[in-house]
Structure 1
Amino acid sequence: MAAGRRGMRPVRVVQYLLLIMVLVISAGPLLWVLVNAIRPDSEIIAYPPTVLPGAVTGDHFVALFTLYDFGTYLLNSLVIAGTATAGALVFGTLAAYAMARFDFRLVRVLGELSLVAYLIPPILVLVPVTQILFGSGLGDNRVALAVLYTATLLPFALWILRSYFTGVAVDIEEAAMIDRCTRFGAFLRVVLPQAVPGLISTGIFTFNAAWSEYLFASTLMTTNSKLPANAAIFLLMGNMGTESWGLLMAAALTIVAPVVILFVLAQRWLISGIGEGAVRG
């Protein structure tokens, strides 16, 4: 066994090196954003560049929320992404349960068509969606943008949650209905609690997608005060380019921070939800 362990050491070293490489590639840009957000612009544009900041400052964050009122854009993002996530979870849960429990050909065909629609790149439907919304008087409307996000995220929520409801035994529901519980009551009291990890993981991914969406937000919203945070970053850009790299990095870090915190807080449910969904699917 000692010889076997010695033989595994080079493999283990290679694995750790690969993990470190992946970590540097994925987390390196975020760390660079953090470093540039807390040091003066004079150090950012200095040559040769330095890795660690010589001086630490919070002026970029102060200017971000005082001069540019970035809190309004964050609130817009929270309302739009939260509404879209809630809508996708509600409609996705009901549709996924119907697909898992009822063998209707029409339901199955509609579910497959929704998956095909999810695979279409958003850039291909940007022009017709813009024409429809502005032609209907719904352009520059945060509610319309939230409904659009709900429609685009619904297929993802539908197919993720379908695997959870498929894995729940039908006998449990039948036992609840024998005890004078309606099907909808059995769904709420028996099936839905068992799908909580799936609901949490699906909600996190849908919220992240709605929070970070830029294409439709920057095209459909024409009033600056209604912009979500990720689309409002261009307001920090001058006509001749970037006026302050530190301010831009502070805005990027402010946008990323809520999603990172959400992932950290819900990590336990997220991992269990992904694992159970993969096994049940």
Structure 2
Amino acid sequence: MRLRNFRRAPLYLCLALVVAVADLPLLWIVLTALKPDAEIIAYPPSFWPGELTFDNFRTLFEISQFSAYLRNSLLVSVGATALTVLLGVCAAYALVRFRIPGLRWVGELSLFAYLVPPILVLVPVAQVVARFGLANNLGALVVLYTATLLPFALWTLRSYFHGLTVELEEAAMVDGCTRFGAFVRVVLPQAVPGVIATSVFTFNAAWSEYLFASTLLADPEKFTVSQGLSLLMDQTSVYSWGVLMAAALVIVTPVLVLFVLVQKFLVGGVGQGAVK
């Protein structure tokens, strides 16, 4: 037992090194947000703060409408995530279970839509949004994010539905379930990890999106957090790094909390629908 653990020591060391490198920027953000400005600009720089302060967070909400930015981003991200996952689940299930002529090619073409860089469709999308009078509208962002993220959600969920056995679903229908009943009671519980993984990715993408938001929104009261951070850099002239790092930490925290909350569901959802 000890010999096996000793042989795995280099692997654990490499994993620890990778985690340290990946998490070091986040740790630096946290420590900088808790430092006073005088300590941040001091030379030589210090890694650990000599004095902990929360003034940067208070200043952040005093000089900007960051609470409004958080609310706007939350509304847009949750709306886009819910709509994308709902449509993605239905479409992915249809692609896997129904043999409709031409349906497979529709799924194949949707992947190419996801591969198109957003910058290439920015101008026509902005023109369409302006023509329909939806400029400076958070609802337009929800629809736009759903359209851009749906192809990825479709392909991610499709792979999960492909891995689910058909026999359990057919057994449920033999026992009296309708197609929809078997889908809800048998298929969805087994696809919980895929649904959650897709939801987390969609929320993260919508939460951090900047290109479309900065183009379609002009009213500061409707800005998202990505626009708010960009505006904050102009307001502070990039001299108050503590305020900027506090803003970055506030933006990152919801996504980190979401990942922590759903970790157990990623494993626990496997096989839940396999009990008759």
Alignment TM-score, normalising by the size of structure 2 = 0.90
Shift in Å at residue 195 of structure 1? 1.5
Equivalent of 1:184 in 164, 180, 187: 180
Show CA shifts across 1:77-114 (max 9, x none).
11100000001111000000100101223211111111
Q: State the partner residue of 2:123.
A: 127
Alignment TM-score, normalising by the size of structure 1 = 0.88
Equivalent of 2:259 in 251, 263, 272: 263
Q: State the partner residue of 2:274.
A: none
Shift in Å at residue 224 of structure 1? 0.9
Distance 1:194 1:33, change over 3 A: same
User: Which amino acid is 1:31 matched to?
Assistant: L
Q: State the partner residue of 1:146.
A: 142
Distance 1:105 1:61, change over 3 A: same
Q: Distance in 1 between matches of 2:202 and 2:184?
A: 22
Question: Aligned pair 1:40/2:46, yes or no?
Answer: no
User: Which amino acid is 2:225 matched to?
Assistant: A
Contact 2:81/2:202 (8 A) holds in 1: yes
Q: Distance in 2 between matches of 1:189 and 1:21?
A: 43
Q: Distance in 2 between matches of 1:75 and 1:66?
A: 16
Q: Distance in 2 between matches of 1:55 and 1:261?
A: 26
Partner of 1:237, secondary structure, is helix
Partner of 1:105, secondary structure, is coil
Partner of 1:266, secondary structure, is helix
User: Which amino acid is 1:164 matched to?
Assistant: Y
Shift in Å at residue 222 of structure 1? 1.1
Shift in Å at residue 127 of structure 1? 1.9
Show CA shifts across 1:159-208 (max 9, x none).
11112222333233333333443222222222222212221121111111
Contact 1:78/1:211 (8 A) holds in 2: yes
Residues 153-168 of structure 1 correspond to what in structure 2 (within 5 A)?
A: 153-168=149-164
Partner of 2:128, secondary structure, is helix
Contact 2:32/2:245 (8 A) holds in 1: yes
Shift in Å at residue 59 of structure 1? 0.7
Q: State the partner residue of 2:166.
A: 170
Show CA shifts across 1:125-176 (max 9, x none).
2222122212322111100101111111111111111122223332333333
Q: Distance in 1 between matches of 2:149 and 2:234?
A: 33
Contact 1:236/1:243 (8 A) holds in 2: no
Q: Distance in 2 between matches of 1:227 and 1:94?
A: 32
- Range moving further from structure 2, 239-248 or 121-130: 239-248
Distance 1:174 1:19, change over 3 A: closer
- Range moving further from structure 2, 38-47 or 188-197: 188-197
Q: State the partner residue of 1:279.
A: none
Q: State the partner residue of 1:233.
A: 229
Q: Distance in 1 between matches of 2:13 and 2:189?
A: 41
Contact 1:173/1:187 (8 A) holds in 2: yes
Shift in Å at residue 271 of structure 1? 5.2
Unaligned runs of 5+ in 2: 272-276
Shift in Å at residue 116 of structure 1? 0.9
Unaligned runs of 5+ in 1: 277-281
Distance 1:271 1:191, change over 3 A: closer
Shift in Å at residue 13 of structure 1? 4.5
Q: Distance in 1 between matches of 2:36 and 2:267?
A: 39
User: Which amino acid is 2:220 matched to?
Assistant: N
Question: Aligned pair 1:51/2:47, yes or no?
Answer: yes
Distance 1:173 1:270, change over 3 A: closer
Contact 2:111/2:151 (8 A) holds in 1: yes
Residues 108-127 of structure 1 correspond to what in structure 2 (within 5 A)?
A: 108-127=104-123
Quote the sequence identity (%). Answer: 56
Distance 1:19 1:193, change over 3 A: closer
Shift in Å at residue 239 of structure 1? 6.7
Partner of 2:226, secondary structure, is coil
Contact 1:160/1:202 (8 A) holds in 2: yes
Show CA shifts across 1:197-222 (max 9, x none).
22112111111111111111122111
Q: State the partner residue of 2:220.
A: 224
Shift in Å at residue 19 of structure 1? 2.1
Tell me the matched-pair count.
271
